[in-house]
Amino acid sequence: MADAAEPTTPRRPPRRAARFLLTALASLICAAGLAAGLWGLWLWSFATPAPLARLETGSVEILDREGGRLGAFLSEDDKWRFPAKLDEVDPLFLEILKAYEDKRFDEHGGVDLLALGRALRQMLTSGQVVSGASTLSMQAARLLDPAPRSLANKLVEMKRARLLERQRGKSGVLEIYLGLAPYGGNLEGIKAASWAYLGKSPATLTPAEAALLAAIPKNPNAYRPDRHPAAARRARDLVIARAEAAGALTAAEAAEARAAEVPRRRRDAGLEAPHAARRALAELAPEARRRGGAFSTAIDPRLQAAAQDLARRAAFRSDPSASAAVLLIHRPSAEIRAYVGAAVPESQRRAGSVDMLRALRSPGSALKPFVYGLAFDRALLLPETILDDRETDFAGYAPRNFDRGYSGQMSAAETLRRSLNVPAVRILDRLGPAAFDGALRTAGAGLTYPLGDGPSLALALGGAGISPYDLGRLYMGFAGTGGVPARLNLLAGATTPEVKTLLTPLAAQRLRQILATAPRPRTAQAARGATTPVAFKTGTSYGYRDSWAAGASGDYVIVVWVGRPDGAPCPGCTGYSVAAPTLLDMAQALPPPDPALAVPVLADPALAAGAKLAPHLRRWSSRPTQSLLQPLKKPPEILFPRDQTTLLLPEGKAAPLRASGGEGALRWLVNGRPLASPAANGAPLWLPDGPGTHRLEAVDSRGRSARAEVVVVRPTPPRRSAASLAAAPPAPPPESPPEAP
């Protein structure tokens, strides 16, 4: 009997065969998936390009003339997001980024098919996502239009990535990524991250810094070094390993990078020069502010640092609540080279947030040079004209000098050097306060009067409000050929502003010559023997509330203000003792003047050999006179108001009309109609029927006429804001603090 057959066990195929079959099956599935993906791409061939709206808004970065940062400001959507150009980023970072995120970036056309196939195969064999296939181009497309992760959105990203590369090229795609990559919180883009975490520009990065900035966007909130330093370090080291494997880093560089510490705090964006940066931001066009980007100014970083240091010193030696402001203007270009609005911007006690260069303050005696300058222009006096400094009552207004004494007879030049009050008021009375105000207003530097009052004789001693910025513009006329720029250039590349005439070149030269010999206080630089030529004038407002010094040195105009931003007195703070030393020390920090830009020296006819001066030019006369060296029978000339003058007149107040020359009595016409207003002290009075443009005409008995077009404006009450702490000053009493030692 045959033995029963033993049951047999089926043989299992070898593991190698099973692996082969599984791999073949996976490959078929991958191929099918790849074909499906390509078919999907074709279906999405009409997908819209990525929207570029996120590229059209960004943060504003304000730079000095050498590219240093003055300040930065959030975008409209409260993000720190700065556009980045490839030449603004360290090339090492780009190498490391490609090695970590997209090693075939320079070869593919936006979609890496090899990486895509690998990712599909790994997902199908393991049942989960092992590696991604997003290229930098696809990430750029997603950053432009963030959307939930899905197969459909991934296909859209792929299509948009290809479009981006065709439209913008590889460099354009990289710049999109560099400008929009997330870095945690409200940080977007490498420039924002580099400043926040490293405190520097991304133009120069160490291998460790570059690896950290390449790692964070993978998981921005989890890898924030200020909150999760350990996780950030692990992510950074992974990037270093991949960069070393790809040859972007040597073994020694990689080891040194791993040993480097990870930054553990996030820095504020910072405003290195807050008031200059905010002023530059305000001057940008609205579209430029919305788009964002880096904007250069004319600020010189060395001069800005010197001005900030001098302002701080001036405030500290004045009062615990004092501040200081310094404005430095390059005269030939009207460019602002230093803009310091507060001595200590971060100090609350000193109101450091208030830009005192824009605040309205009483100028004290700082406007006196223009009183004399206009009198020189009108041939009312010369620097050698003898004036009387004696007690005088001007219809109830009796100004006195600070020492309550009087100096008697002396030249006009000496009264200006010593800043005597009575002679200055005497000259302003002859000019007319309204005419003086009109001249300054026509030049573009309007004054503000307390309680809406119009100009008065107190104007010579500071009875008005003006900002240091506008005073600097006025001193541009004093420093050069008499022209005042319509604006000052803070932004680089600004067009040359229109220049309005304030003084003639000869009058400006006479003022410079007088004030170049004004008494000087002792300064830190003077103690070291520095004697840079400076023509300057000081000013101190009533109650020691404002200390001023303004003047010209070489190619520059300097304005210094010191006081308390809240308008409280600063005992002992005078223009001579506090502001002038700051101005003189600032002058020592200036570069040498350019001989090609020097103001030409004019021949003064009053000093010519054999020149014969009229009696009223040898000794002051308060009576109206003819102009210097002009014939008595000349045609009529309107002296006030001048042509193209802007006249500030409160409602119901008349303006005196003054003219010279002509034959016989002059007839006045206003807008073509005879003037019906009565005369005052021999001068006709004109009561305008309202604000606006008016045409004045003076006609003599021979029918010769002079015409002037005048704009009348009504005064408005000064701005009084507790927030700005910059209320208009009160009218000064009939005396002013000393301006000479």
If you average pLDDT over residues 688-707, what whole number do you get? 84
Per-residue CA distances from 176 to 7, 32, 99, 157, 170 (Å): 71, 33, 18, 14, 10
Tell me, what's the pLDDT at 618? 84
pLDDT tens digit string along 123-156? Answer: 556 555 445 568 888 899 899 988 777 777 778 8
- Number of independent structural domains in the chain: 1
Cα-trace Rg, the chain: 37
Tell me, what's the pLDDT at 399? 85
More confident residue, 3 or 336: 336
Q: Is the per-residue pLDDT at 115 higher than 90?
A: no
Tell me, what's the pLDDT at 595? 92
Residue 592 lies in a domain: no
**DSSP-derived 3-state class of residue 515:** helix
Range of lowest pLDDT (209-218, 545-554, 731-740) = 731-740
Tell me, what's the pLDDT at 103? 87
CATH number at residue 245: 1.10.3810.10
For residue 54, what are its two tokens? 């996120």
Tell me, what's the pLDDT at 119? 57
The answer to whether residue 101 is catalytic is yes
Residue 234 lies in a domain: yes
If you average pLDDT over residues 544-560, what whole number do you get? 96
Residue 177 lies in a domain: yes
More confident residue, 602 or 522: 602
Tell me, what's the pLDDT at 741? 38
**DSSP-derived 3-state class of residue 512:** helix
- Distance, in Å, from the CA atom of 197 to the CA atom of 192, rounded to the nearest integer, reads 9
Residue 352 lies in a domain: no
User: CA nearest 59: which of 84, 26, 27, 82?
Assistant: 82
Q: Is the per-residue pLDDT at 4 higher than 70?
A: no
- Distance, in Å, from the CA atom of 53 to the CA atom of 72, rounded to the nearest integer, reads 21
Residue 140 lies in a domain: yes
- Domain range holding 154? 40-56+79-259
- Distance, in Å, from the CA atom of 359 to the CA atom of 365, rounded to the nearest integer, reads 17
**Please, are residues 453 and 433 in contact by the beta-carbon 8 Å criterion?**
no
DSSP assignment of 29-60: HHHHHHHHHHHHHHHGGGPPPPP-GGGG---E
Residue 130 lies in a domain: yes
If you average pLDDT over residues 583-589, what whole number do you get? 95
Tell me, what's the pLDDT at 254? 96
Range of lowest pLDDT (115-119, 254-258, 434-438, 611-615) = 115-119
pLDDT tens digit string along 562-575? Answer: 999 999 999 889 99
pLDDT tens digit string along 351-367? Answer: 999 999 999 999 999 99
Q: What is the mean pLDDT of the chain?
A: 84
If you average pLDDT over residues 614-618, what whole number do you get? 78
Q: Is the per-residue pLDDT at 531 higher than 50?
A: yes
Q: Is the per-residue pLDDT at 184 higher than 80?
A: yes
Tell me, what's the pLDDT at 731? 44
Tell me, what's the pLDDT at 460? 93
User: CA nearest 599: which of 507, 517, 530, 518?
Assistant: 507
Catalytic-role residue among 75, 134, 318, 365: 365
Phi, psi of 386 (to 5 degrees): -85, 130
If you average pLDDT over residues 699-718, what whole number do you get? 80
More confident residue, 657 or 8: 657
Range of lowest pLDDT (47-51, 70-74, 588-592) = 47-51
- Distance, in Å, from the CA atom of 85 to the CA atom of 269, rounded to the nearest integer, reads 20
Tell me, what's the pLDDT at 619? 85
Catalytic-role residue among 61, 95, 101, 175: 101
Range of lowest pLDDT (336-340, 467-471, 559-563, 664-668) = 664-668
Phi, psi of 523 (to 5 degrees): -125, 170
Tell me, what's the pLDDT at 14? 58
If you average pLDDT over residues 705-717, what whole number do you get? 85
- Distance, in Å, from the CA atom of 246 to the CA atom of 511, rounded to the nearest integer, reads 72
Range list of β-strands (E), 219-320: 293-296
Q: Is the per-residue pLDDT at 157 higher than 50?
A: yes
More confident residue, 494 or 129: 494
Q: Is the per-residue pLDDT at 725 higher than 60?
A: no
pLDDT tens digit string along 274-307? Answer: 999 999 999 999 999 999 999 999 999 999 999 9
Range of lowest pLDDT (159-173, 292-306, 413-427, 533-547) = 159-173
Residue 688 lies in a domain: no
pLDDT tens digit string along 24-56? Answer: 565 556 555 555 555 555 455 445 677 888 888
More confident residue, 729 or 207: 207
Banded model confidence at residue 446, pLDDT cuts 50, 70, 90: confident
The answer to whether residue 333 is catalytic is no
pLDDT tens digit string along 298-331? Answer: 999 999 999 999 999 999 999 999 999 999 999 9
User: CA nearest 579: which of 621, 602, 545, 618?
Assistant: 545
Tell me, what's the pLDDT at 154? 77
Residue 425 lies in a domain: no
For residue 564, what are its two tokens? 């308390």
